[in-house]
Amino acid sequence: MATESCDFKLAADLVANCENNSISGVKNHGWIVNYDDIDFEASQLDEDNPNILKSLVLTSGKKAYKVYVPGNTPFTGTNTALAAGTYRNKFTKQVSIVILDNGPEVVNKVIDQLANGKFVVVLENKYSGSDGKNTFEVFGFEQGLHATEMANDKYSEDTDGGWSTTLEESGATKGGIYLYNQSAAATRTSLASLVSGSASS
């Protein structure tokens, strides 16, 4: 058995981007897919930078679903935090979603599934970075996101009787995974094809 030591060494300066100032927050539209629908064989990480997901591909006949949260601070509570480990530190990622709707169809098709399923969410950062590679951030690609909180408060002024949910991925080795395929425009087209599902259907 070969022994190998993992070196964790910095490879770039810790600086601010003065030409293209970073902006906090994410945009109102996101995408969610069932973790098990992902074709991991066809989904490729960049060889040079494994924090870039070059393609997020689903198995035939599967599709992604849109997530829309209105307001000035959509997906509030979404964050990534360090989780200290005995031998290796990892990351815990949380995605907070508000569903301003309710009813049997919503509960049947969305809420009950969110409560028990495993998912991957793609959010669009307001700050796209100088090269556009920061535009689409992927949560849950490694371990999958699962629900840790779900509530339907009838008198909540925030959710207006809808649902609030928090999805969490724990044990992620990467602090961030970004979906980027040659350009932001091409990546957006790729996401659109995820939503449309298999075109032959």
Residues at the site binding another protein, with contacts judged by CB under 8 A: 39, 41-43, 55-64, 66, 68, 105, 109, 181-183, 185-186, 189-201
Rounded to a whole number of angstroms, the minimum distance from the CB of residue 180 to another protein is 12
Rounded to a whole number of angstroms, the minimum distance from the CB of residue 201 to another protein is 6
Distance of alpha carbon 155 from its chain centroid, rounded?
A: 29
Residue 39 or 158: which CB sits closer to another protein?
Answer: 39
Rounded to a whole number of angstroms, the minimum distance from the CB of residue 198 to another protein is 6
Handedness of CA 59, 138, 25, 184 (dihedral sign): negative
119-125: strand order across its sheet = 44-45, 52-55, 177-179, 136-139, 119-125, 26-34, 65-68
Residue 94 or 97: which CB sits closer to another protein?
Answer: 97
| Pick from 50, 159, 58, 36: nearest CA to 102 | 159
Rounded to a whole number of angstroms, the minimum distance from the CB of residue 124 to another protein is 14
Rounded to a whole number of angstroms, the minimum distance from the CB of residue 5 to another protein is 32
Token pair 């006949």 is at which residue? 61
CA angle 190, 60, 56 (to 5 degrees): 35
Which residues on neighbouring strands pair with residue 168, listed in sequence order? Answer: 94, 146
